[in-house]
Structure 1
Amino acid sequence: MAVATALSLSPLAACGGGSSGSGDAKSLTMWTFKQSHVAALKNAAAEFKKQTGITVTVQAYGPDDAYTTKVQAAAKTHDLPDVLEVHSDGEDLALGATGIARDISKEVGSDWSGLYQKGVQTSGTVTPAKYKESLPADSKSHGVTEGQRFSVPLTSGTFGIVMGNKKALAAAGITKPPASYEEFLADLRATTAKDPKNGGVSLGLKVKATGLTWVLQPLAFGELGTDRYHALFGKDASGDFSSPNGRKVLGQYAQLQPYWMPGTQSLDIDAADQAFAQGKSAWDIGGTFTLAFLEQNGMNPDDVMAFGIPGPQGGAVPKPALGPLALTGLTVSATSSHPKNAEKWMKFLAQPSVASQFAKDATEVPSTELGADAASVMGATLADMTKAFAGTPETTYDPSLNDFRPGNYDQDSMAEILADLTPLKQKSVDATGKAMAKLENSFWATAK
C-alpha cells in the first residue's frame, strides 16, 4: 500500500479508437483490484442505475500483480474497461503517461473536487512537484504535463495506525489507547507478559519499508518536530541519522525489539494482518485500510482498539496527527467509448450519501468529506482511526511531503539497513545511524 504499482507499458498508439468493454451508451464496465470494494461498488451501481438508467458492471482482479497483468494485456488489445480503480498519485500518473488514462482536468471542476476531503482534493493531478518527479527519462510518469489530471480519489487514509485485540488487551489490564510511546511500550510489555506466545505485535516486515515509513518516521516526527525530522534526511551530519537526534529516535524504535511477533520479519503485510486476526498477536501495525482486510479474515471491527502511533513523552510533538492520503482513485480509460457516462459514475461515487453507504459496505474511509456525521457513518473503530487525522499543520506528520529528501532517495535500501537494527538485531543503534547517514549522503552526491 505504501508503494504505488508501476506499469511498464508502451504508449497507446490510437487511444480514441479502441473498445471500452461496454456494449452501449447505457452500460459501463469498471475494474478494481480491491475485492473488499466489490460489494460496496455493486450496491452503488444499483442505485446509480435507478437514478440514471446506466448499468455499471464491476469486476475484480487480484492480487495487485494479477491486476497489473490484466491491465497490461487489455491495454495491448485496446480492451480496457471504462473505469479503473488505481493506486492514487502513482499508478494513475503512470497510466496517464502511457496514454492509458484519459486527462480529465477540464471535467473536474470545483463543484466536483470540492466534495473531497481538503487534503486529497487535487489527488491524481500533475502538480509542480509531480511534474518535477516525472522529468527523468526512467520515471514511470515521464511524459506527463503539469496540470493534467488522471484520477479522482475514491478512498483515503493513512498508515502508522496501531490496532489492538480488545480481548487480549483486557486480559492484560489494558482498556484504553496509550497516551504516549512510552505507555505503548508498557502495554506491549503487559500483553507479552500475559501471553508470551501471542501477546506481541505483528507488522509485515518482509516488506522492510513498513518499519521505516509506518513506524520510525512518524515516531521521529513526534520526537523531533518538522525541522529536525527533515534534517535526518539532510546533508548536514549534525542532524542526520548519525547525529544525537538520529541515534535517539533509532534507539526509541529499537525498543520494539522484544515485542515483535515471532517470525514477523518473514511475513508480508497481508500475512501479518492475518496473524493478528487469527489471535497470533495482540497488536498489529497497519493503516486505515487494514480494518476491511481484518473483517474479511473473520475479525469483528468492534473487537479492535485503534489509534495512531503515539509521540514520545517530552517530544516536540507529543500528540502527533497523521496526514491523510488518497489511497485509491478512479480513472477513465482513454479507450472508453462513453467517457461522459464514466465521469458521471465517478462523480456519483463522490456524493456524500453514496460515499457514506460505501464506507459502511466496504469498512473503509471514503475520500468524500462526510463532516460531523463521519463517526456514525463509519462505525466506532474506523472513526477512531480517523481521529488520527486531527491536527494542525505543525503537529501533523504528512507522508506525502518528500521534498526535503534528494530526488533519487530510495526508501527500500534505507529500510534494509533499518531492519538490521530491528527486528534482525544485527547492528547497533550507532552502526545503523552511521550506515543510514552514509547511504543518504550517497543519494545527495548523485542527485541531479
Structure 2
Amino acid sequence: MNRYLRRSARTHLALATILALAGAVTACGPGGGGDSSSGDNLTMWTFKQSHVAALQQAAESFKQKTGIGVTVEAITPDDAFIARVQAAAQTRNLPDIFEVHTNGDDFTFGGAGLLEDLADEATWTDRYLPAVAVEGTVTERYYRQSLEKGAKTAGIKLDQRFSVPLTIGTFGIVYANKERLAAAGVTEAPKTWEDFVGVLGAVQKARPRDGGLSIGFQAPTTGMEWLMQPMAYGKLGRAGFTGLFSRDPALNWTSPNGRAVLETYHQVTPYWMPGTQTLTIDDADLAFAQGRSSFVVGGTFTLAFLSQNGMDPANIVTFPVPAPRDGAVPELSLAPFALTGLSVSATTKNKEGAVSWLEHLAQPDVAARFAKDALDIPPVNLGDDPAGTLGPVLGAMISSFGSGADAYNPGDTTHQPPSYDAAVVARSLMELTPLRKADVPTAAAGLQKIIDGYWAGR
C-alpha cells in the first residue's frame, strides 16, 4: 500500500508492544548473539515490496565493492512488519538493517533500544538535499513529544539519530493520463489553478464517463491537505494561509480570504469521479490506473503504486497543485520531507558493514539507479537536471520541490491549535466538496466553529 498521511497519523507501535521490545532488547543486550546475520552477509527488512528489486540491484554493486552480501526481505503490510519486529526482538533474531517510516518507527524502535545511534557514523549527509539532510534525528520537537504521557517514542534523547533517509517526497502531486490530455487538446501541464480547472473540464467534456478526478476521501484529510491547502498557500502566501487557522475573524475561514479559498477549491466539484467520497487512497489510485478516472491527486510516493497496478509511467503527466493566477505565491513549490529511512539494528554483528551499506545507497549513481528501479525519489542531490537523470515523470516531481516562504510544507503544523484534529476538520470540509451539502458561507462557518473549539480547549 502507498498510504502516507500526515506524520502524526502514521501507524506506530502500541505502548505495550514498545515495552515488550524494550524488555527483549535489554535481555539480549547490544551485540547479542541471536540475530540472523553473519559477518559477511547482512539482512535487511522492508515493508515496501516495491523497493525489493531496487535494493537487490544495489546489493549486487555493494557486494562487488565490499564483498559483503545483503539479503532483502519484504514484510507487508505495515502491521505485519511491526508484528515481525516485535517477535524478532523477543527471540533475539533481528535483521541488521531496517527500512522504517522516518521520524516515526525509527524513533519508536530507537527509544526501545532496538537501533544504533548513527549521529557519529552518518558522515555523508552532505550528499542529501538540505531540506532532508538531518531527517531521522531527534530534534527538540520530537524529544518534547517523547516526554508526553503515553508517548510511543519514550526513551529517545536529543540529537540521537536513528535513521538516514532512503526515500523522500511530498503531497500535492496531480497525476494525469497523458493520452487523454492529448485527445482533449491539452499539450502541457497546467501552470495555474485556473488552467487546472480548465483542463479538468476539457477532459471530462471529451470523456464524460471516465474523465474525472479521484482522491481517497475515505481518509478525508487527502482532499484538504493534498489539494486544497497547497492551493490556499499559493493563493494567500504564508501569512494569509496560517491566518485561516486562527481565531481572528479578519483572517480565518469566515473572513473574505477564507471564503475566497473555499470558492476557489469548490471549482473542482463538478469534476470529481462519481463515488470518490467512498474511496480509500488505494482505491482512488486504482481508479486512475485502471482508467476509471483521468486524474488522481496523491504524492510522489503514488507513482510506484500506479506502476505496480498496470499504469504505464510513460502515459503519466505529473505536476504540483498549482497556485491561482493572481496568487501571492505564483511559483508555488512543495517542501520535501523524508518518507522512509534506513536504520541499523543494535544487535548487528557487523555494524561497520551495515553503515557502509547505508552510505552506499547514498552514492549519487546508486541512488539514481534505485530511484529508476523503485519509481521513488531518493534524498540525494542529483544536480540541476533530474529529468535527464531519472526521466520526465520523476524529474518533474523533483523540480516541484522548494524551500522557504514560497514552498508549501505539509509538515509545518505550528499555526494550528495544539488539539487540532485534521480528520475532523477535513470531514467538515467535505460537506462543501465533494458532497455539495453546504454552500461556501455555511462551510466556512462550520470549519471555524471546529477550529475555535480547539483553541478554546488549549
Instruction: Give the drift of 1:84.
Output: 0.9
Distance (Å, rounded) in 1 between the aligned partners of 2:222 and 2:34: 37
Normalised to the residue count of structure 1, the TM-score between the two structures is: 0.95
Counterpart position of 1:6: 12
Distance (Å, rounded) in 1 between the aligned partners of 2:108 and 2:249: 36
CA RMSD in angstroms, aligned pairs only: 1.7
Change (3 A) 1:247 1:18: farther
What amino acid sits opposite 1:439 in the alignment?
Answer: I
CA contact (8 A) 1:365 1:378 kept: no
Name the stretch that deviates more: 298-307 or 239-248: 239-248
**Of 57, 60, 66, which residue of structure 2 is paired with 1:52?**
66
**Of 391, 395, 413, which residue of structure 2 is paired with 1:402?**
413
- What is the 5 A alignment of 1:249-264? 249-264=261-276
Counterpart position of 1:234: 246
**Of 56, 66, 89, which residue of structure 1 is paired with 2:103?**
89
Alignment pair present for 1:65 and 2:79: yes
Instruction: Give the drift of 1:373.
Output: 4.7
**Of 39, 42, 48, which residue of structure 2 is paired with 1:25?**
39
**Of 425, 433, 436, which residue of structure 1 is paired with 2:436?**
425
- 2:168 alignment partner, SS class: strand
CA contact (8 A) 1:160 1:218 kept: yes
Distance (Å, rounded) in 2 between the aligned partners of 1:361 and 1:307: 21
CA contact (8 A) 2:34 2:91 kept: no
CA contact (8 A) 2:18 2:152 kept: no
Change (3 A) 1:90 1:23: closer
- What is the 5 A alignment of 1:350-369? 350-369=362-381
- What is the 5 A alignment of 1:213-362? 213-362=225-374
Change (3 A) 1:335 1:417: farther
Instruction: Give the drift of 1:293.
Output: 1.5
CA contact (8 A) 2:35 2:92 kept: no
Instruction: Give the drift of 1:244.
Output: 1.9
Cα shift readout 1:278-310 (whole Å, capped 9, x = no counterpart): 111111111111111111112221111110001
Counterpart position of 1:122: 134
What amino acid sits opposite 2:349 in the alignment?
Answer: S
- 1:41 alignment partner, SS class: helix
Distance (Å, rounded) in 2 between the aligned partners of 1:31 and 1:188: 41
Distance (Å, rounded) in 2 between the aligned partners of 1:433 and 1:78: 54
What amino acid sits opposite 1:431 in the alignment?
Answer: T
Counterpart position of 1:379: 391
Change (3 A) 1:323 1:191: same
Instruction: Give the drift of 1:107.
Output: 1.7
- 2:437 alignment partner, SS class: coil
Cα shift readout 1:48-72 (whole Å, capped 9, x = no counterpart): 1111111111001112222222223
Instruction: Give the drift of 1:203.
Output: 0.9
* Unaligned ranges ≥5, structure 2: none
What amino acid sits opposite 1:42 in the alignment?
Answer: Q
**Of 181, 197, 201, which residue of structure 1 is paired with 2:209?**
197
What amino acid sits opposite 1:27 in the alignment?
Answer: N
- 1:75 alignment partner, SS class: helix
How many residues in Structure 1 have an aligned counterpart in Structure 2? 444
**Of 120, 136, 139, which residue of structure 1 is paired with 2:148?**
136
Instruction: Give the drift of 1:78.
Output: 3.0
Counterpart position of 2:165: 153
- 1:86 alignment partner, SS class: strand
Distance (Å, rounded) in 1 between the aligned partners of 2:313 and 2:38: 41
Distance (Å, rounded) in 2 between the aligned partners of 1:310 and 1:378: 23
**Of 175, 185, 194, which residue of structure 2 is paired with 1:182?**
194
Instruction: Give the drift of 1:237.
Output: 2.8
- TM superposition outliers: structure 1 runs of 4+ over 6 Å: none
Instruction: Give the drift of 1:178.
Output: 1.1
Normalised to the residue count of structure 2, the TM-score between the two structures is: 0.93
Distance (Å, rounded) in 1 between the aligned partners of 2:201 and 2:264: 15
CA contact (8 A) 1:120 1:367 kept: yes
% identity of equivalent residues: 46
Distance (Å, rounded) in 1 between the aligned partners of 2:185 and 2:442: 37
Distance (Å, rounded) in 2 between the aligned partners of 1:171 and 1:355: 36
- 1:372 alignment partner, SS class: coil
Counterpart position of 1:414: 425
What amino acid sits opposite 1:123 in the alignment?
Answer: E
Counterpart position of 1:393: 404
CA contact (8 A) 1:80 1:333 kept: yes
* Unaligned ranges ≥5, structure 1: none
Change (3 A) 1:339 1:444: farther
- 1:326 alignment partner, SS class: strand
Instruction: Give the drift of 1:167.
Output: 0.8
Change (3 A) 1:335 1:440: farther
What amino acid sits opposite 1:7 in the alignment?
Answer: L
